[in-house]
Structure 1
Amino acid sequence: MVVPGGVDPAEARTAREYVALLRRLKEHSGLTYRQLEQRAAERDEVLARSTLADTLRRDALPRAEVVAALARACGAGDDVPEWIAARERLAAGEVPATDGTDPAPDGTDQEPEPPNEPPEPSDPRRGRTAVTAALVSLGTVVLLTVGAVTLLPQDDGTENTKSAATPTTSGYSRVRPARAPELCLTDGNVRVEGESKLLAVQRPCAEAVPPRVYLQGADDGRYQIQFRHPEHGTGCLTVLGDGVFKGTLEPWGDCRAGGNSQWFRVERADGSDRWRLRSAQDDALCVGVRGSAEEAGAAVVAEHCAERGGDDQVFLIGRE
C-alpha cells in the first residue's frame, strides 16, 4: 500500500524512519502547519501546529491520535488504518524483514535510556508533549522566573560535601523556589496566544506528583532535569528556542534530541544550601519564574541571569 506522495508506512523499520515518512506526507500535502491545524479543526480534531512541529522534528513514535489527525489533514484519510497499524507494529518492537531474513531483534527501534540512568519502568514510546484533554486546566499562565533551592542531606543522613559544580548525586529530588518553598517544580498545561503546551511549572507540592523529578548527573557536573511519569515515561526538560513559548522548559521524551538545551549547571547562589540552575547552552541564562514567584501554576523559564536579583532565580533542592 502506498499513500499519496509515494509514502508507504509499512516500510518503516524504526521510529526514526516512521517520523521521516510522516514528514514526507506533510511535505507532499503542500500545507503549512497552520493550514493542517485548520483542516483538523474542521473535523473537530485537535492538531496544534506547535505540537505537530515538535512531533515531526523528533525521532520518537507520536501518539496514534496525532498520526490519524495528520493523515486525514494531509488528504490520506483512507490510509489511516495503515499508518496506525505500522505505528503499533513499531511500538510492539516488531520490525519487518525486507530481504527474506529474520526481523531485527526486539527493541532495535526503541530509543535507549539516558546515560547512567538507573532502571525504572517507563514507556519511551510516548513523548511528553501536551495532552490537554487529560490535564486539569490551569488557565492562562504567566511565564515564570525560578526561585531558590536548598540542598537537603543525602539519603544516608550525611551532609553532601561535593563541590558547587556537582552539589548532589543523581536521584529523585524536590525542587522548590526559595521565595515560595511550599511550591514544587512539576508539569502543567500553559496557554499562550491561543496555543497550549505541557511545560514545567510550579504548583503546591502536594499536587506536584506525578511526575516525580529526577536529577540525572553527568561526569562533567551538568544535570538533566527529568520528569518521570508512571504512564508517560521520562521527559527531559528542554529550553525552547523559538516561537511563542521561547524560553520555557518542555519535557521531551527524547533525552538526546535537545543537546545542551537539555542540560543545566547547578551553582551555589549565596549560601551553602541555595542553588542556581544555569543553562549549559547559554551561560547567560538562568532558570527562573516569570511573573510572581509565589504564583501557583506559573511557568518555569530560562531567562537572562541579570534580569532579577535576590531569590528570584534561587532554588532549594532536596532529596525526595
Structure 2
Amino acid sequence: MGNQEESLPHRAQDAGEFIAAMRHLKERSGLTYRQLERRAAERGETLARSTLADVLRGRTLPRPELLAAFVRACGDDHRLEGWLAAREEVAGRAAAEGSATVRRTSPHRSAGRKPALMVAVAATVALLLAGGVGAWQLYAPGGGEPTGKAGASRTAGPPHLLQSSAPSPPSAGSGRLSGWVRIRPVTAPRLCLTDGRVRDRRYTPLVAVQRPCDQVAPQDTLLEPMGGDSYRIQWHHPDYGMGCLKVLSRGPGAGLLEPMDDCAEDSRFHIEPSGPYVNGTYVLRVDGQGCVGIRGSGRSEGTEAVMERCVGKGGQVFTIEPAR
C-alpha cells in the first residue's frame, strides 16, 4: 500500500508527478483495473481499464471526466475537487511553459536545428530497423519483457507468465483439452473469442465478444481442466492480470460473460464435442444456464457472446485450437 502523502495531487509540479500521484492512489486503494472499471460502472460512469492503464504508465494528463471517475472509484471522493484543481494547475503551468519556450526560440534557431533533428530521426529509425525484436523489447509498454508474439513461445505461456509452469497445448485429435488456445466461432472463423464491449452500452465492463484473431494479443486464453469435461476459461493480460470467465445471471449484463478477478466466482464450462473429436469443434455448456453462443449467430466484429438455450449449431459451435 502506498503512503498517503505520495498521492497528494497538489504537490505535483508536472504531468509526470501528477500521474505518479494517481498510481499511488490506485496502489493505496488495493483495487485492480477490472475492479475500478466495475466500480465506475456501478455509478453509471465509464472507466475503461485499457485507457486507465495507458494513462497510468504514461506522462499525459487524463481528461477531467476520466480523472473524476478514477478518483471516485478509488474511494477518494472527498478529495475530488482537489484532484481536479491540481490537474488544472499542472495543465496551466505546462501551457505557460510551452508559450515561454516558443517566445524564446527565434525562427533562425529553429531553422538551424532542423537538419540535425532530421539526422537524429533517421539514425533512430535505422537503429530500430536493425534492432528487430530488440527494439520491440526496448519500447514494450511498461518496460520489461515484450508483450507481442515476438517475445516468447506460446507453449511456454504469455511473457508475463514465463516463470510459471504452463500446461501443454491441446491436441486437436484428443479427447482432452488444456493449455493456451484460441476459441473461434465456426460462423465467423477469422474471429476469436476475447474481450470487448457490448454495442448497445447497456453494460460497460469488458465482456466476451468476437474480434479479429490478430487483434487479441497481448491477451491470452488458457483452458484449465477441472475434472471430466469441465474447464475453467482464464484470460491473461500483462496489464489487467488474470480473469476467469463467469456467466452473469442478473442485472444489465445478464447473459453476458465477464472475466472475474476472483476465480472462485467463475463458471465451469463443459466443453463437449459437436462431432468427432478429430473435427476440433465443440459446444461450451454451463449447467443450468445453457450454452455459449454468439448473439444471433452474428458474423460481424464485436458481436457479444451470450448464454442461450442449447441447440448445438450455428453460433454455439466453436473451434478450439492451440494458440500459435
TM-score relative to the length of structure 2: 0.50
Query: Among 281, 303, 306, which residue is 1:298 paired with?
Result: 303
Pair 1:269 & 2:248 matched? no
**1:183-241: CA deviation from partner (whole Å, max 9, x where unpaired):** 11111122435542211111111112221111111124311111111221111111111
Query: Among 184, 192, 196, which residue is 2:200 paired with?
Result: 192
Shift of 1:249: 0.6
> Structure 1 residues 231 and 44, CA, compared in 2 at 3 Å: closer, same or farther?
closer
Shift of 1:159: 5.8
**Residue in 2 aligned with 1:127?**
none
Cα pair 1:186 1:209 within 8 Å, conserved: no
Three-state SS of the structure 1 residue aligned to 2:198 is: strand
Higher share of residues assigned helix = 2
Q: How does 1:193-208 map to 2 (within 5 A)?
A: 193=201, 195-208=203-216
**Residue in 2 aligned with 1:141?**
none
Cα pair 1:37 1:46 within 8 Å, conserved: no
- Hey, what's the Cα distance between the residues in 2 that align with 1:155 and 1:192? 36
> Structure 1 residues 45 and 120, CA, compared in 2 at 3 Å: closer, same or farther?
closer
**Residue in 2 aligned with 1:225?**
233
> Structure 1 residues 203 and 45, CA, compared in 2 at 3 Å: closer, same or farther?
closer
Cα pair 2:207 2:256 within 8 Å, conserved: yes
Q: CA RMSD in A?
A: 3.8
Q: Which has the larger radius of gyration?
A: 2
**Residue in 2 aligned with 1:315?**
318
Amino acid at match of 1:71: D
Cα pair 1:172 1:319 within 8 Å, conserved: yes
Identity of aligned residues (%): 35
* Number of positions where the alignment pairs a residue of Structure 1 with one of Structure 2: 193
Amino acid at match of 1:177: P
Q: How does 1:53-202 map to 2 (within 5 A)?
A: 65=71, 67-68=73-74, 70-72=75-77, 75=78, 121=160, 160-162=173-175, 167-168=176-177, 170-193=178-201, 195-202=203-210
Pair 1:278 & 2:285 matched? yes
> Structure 1 residues 249 and 195, CA, compared in 2 at 3 Å: closer, same or farther?
closer
Amino acid at match of 2:191: L
Gaps of 5+ in 2: 1-26, 32-41, 47-63, 84-156, 162-167
> Structure 1 residues 173 and 243, CA, compared in 2 at 3 Å: closer, same or farther?
same
TM-score relative to the length of structure 1: 0.50
Shift of 1:265: 0.3
- Hey, what's the Cα distance between the residues in 1 that align with 2:313 and 2:191? 18
- Hey, what's the Cα distance between the residues in 2 that align with 1:208 and 1:317? 15
Amino acid at match of 2:252: V
> Structure 1 residues 241 and 46, CA, compared in 2 at 3 Å: closer, same or farther?
farther
> Structure 1 residues 44 and 290, CA, compared in 2 at 3 Å: closer, same or farther?
same
- Hey, what's the Cα distance between the residues in 2 that align with 1:248 and 1:277? 14
Gaps of 5+ in 1: 1-14, 20-32, 49-63, 81-117, 123-153
Shift of 1:119: 10
> Structure 1 residues 301 and 77, CA, compared in 2 at 3 Å: closer, same or farther?
same
Cα pair 1:193 1:244 within 8 Å, conserved: no
- Hey, what's the Cα distance between the residues in 2 that align with 1:119 and 1:219? 24
> Structure 1 residues 227 and 47, CA, compared in 2 at 3 Å: closer, same or farther?
farther
- Hey, what's the Cα distance between the residues in 1 that align with 2:265 and 2:252? 20
**Residue in 1 aligned with 2:251?**
243
Three-state SS of the structure 1 residue aligned to 2:296 is: coil
Greater relative contact order, per chain length (Cα 8 Å cut-off, separation 6+): 1
Cα pair 2:202 2:252 within 8 Å, conserved: no
- Hey, what's the Cα distance between the residues in 1 that align with 2:158 and 2:184? 26
Amino acid at match of 1:235: G
